[in-house]
Structure 1
Amino acid sequence: MSATNELTPAQRDDLRTVAAMIIPASDEYKVPGADDPAIQADMLATLGRDTALVRQALDHLARLAGRPLAELNSAKRDTVATEFRATGGAAAATLVRVVLQCYYRDDRVLRSLGLELRAPFPKGYALEQGDWSLLDPVKARAGTLRRAQ
């Protein structure tokens, strides 16, 4: 490929397939799956610095599958996905993050969550107060990081 941020057609098919496995469409909540064409276009347009790791993840999936993931039936895809989760490392984590970030900025998904269609800043979003005691184990580890000089 000449452009560094492009995926091959097989990689794009596998991205669409794995995205649908991560977040399938829901009739109950009236939201598309992460394989929706608009969400996929957003993923491809915004890969940027994550392109290399996403390519690596998609290539690893194809190696585990023995062919493009999109060509497998759903049972075999699930088996490959289980192995991928165990062996995919940083590339797998990056692929999942890319799918999630693009999915959760889609207007239809935001509407289904009852969120205003706007940037989070400068107005921000109000969050319910949580249980601050959950941070106690982190606070107890104080001093494990090197102090700034």
Structure 2
Amino acid sequence: MSEQLTLTPRQRQDLRTIAGMIIPASDEYRVPGADDGIIQADIIATLGRDTKPVAAALDHLARLAGMPLVDLEPAARDGVARQFRSAGGVAAATLVRVVLQCYYRDDRVLRSLGLELRAPFPKGHVLPDGDWSLLDPVKARAGSLRRTP
């Protein structure tokens, strides 16, 4: 059995629909939704190793919907999305991560956030100092990884 290397046309339609539900366009901030053509092209072009779990997530959505997600009424889509969010597991998390990472690297979105349109390195981005005491419970726990000899 060969591994799926791309999404089917139906999966692409459902991806566009669910992406627009995850991040809708905003006139107030003058940013596109994640269903924008440029962002969708970025998602498809950079799926790589995430293709299989994203396809599984989209197939799960289609099973819940009983038809292509785009063909459902908005209220029915919301119900399917709620079911999907509660039972989608790792595949659903991968789908959401892929949508978010492509959305937040779009130049229009970065401009709206007041960020420079550049790679984060070599200059880096300065983060404000936070409350490092929030990590104390993690530091206090015994290590959960096996130590090497």
How would you bin the TM-score normalised by the shorter chain?
over 0.9
Q: What TM-score do the two structures reach when normalised by structure 1? A: 0.95
Q: What TM-score do the two structures reach when normalised by structure 2? A: 0.95
Equivalent residue, structure 2, for 1:34: 34
Q: How many residues align?
A: 148
Measure the CA separation in 1 of the matches of 2:3 and 2:145: 41
SS in 2 for 1:51: helix
For the aligned residue pairs, the C-alpha RMSD in angstroms reads 1.3
Identity %: 76
Measure the CA separation in 2 of the matches of 1:147 and 1:62: 44
Report how far residue 135 of structure 1 moved: 0.5
Report how far residue 9 of structure 1 moved: 1.0
Structure 2: gaps spanning 5 or more residues: none
- Contact 1:5–1:47 (8 Å) recurs in 2: no
Equivalent residue, structure 1, for 2:125: 125
Measure the CA separation in 1 of the matches of 2:144 and 2:13: 45
One-letter identity of the residue aligned with 1:95: L
Asked if 1:44 is matched to 2:44, the reply is yes
Measure the CA separation in 2 of the matches of 1:112 and 1:5: 33
Equivalent residue, structure 2, for 1:9: 9
Equivalent residue, structure 1, for 2:67: 67
**What's the CA shift string for 1:3-54, capped at 9, x where partnerless?**
9432111111100000000000011111000000000000001110000000
**What's the CA shift string for 1:71-123, capped at 9, x where partnerless?**
10110001001110111111000000000000000000001111110001111
One-letter identity of the residue aligned with 1:146: R
Measure the CA separation in 2 of the matches of 1:108 and 1:35: 14
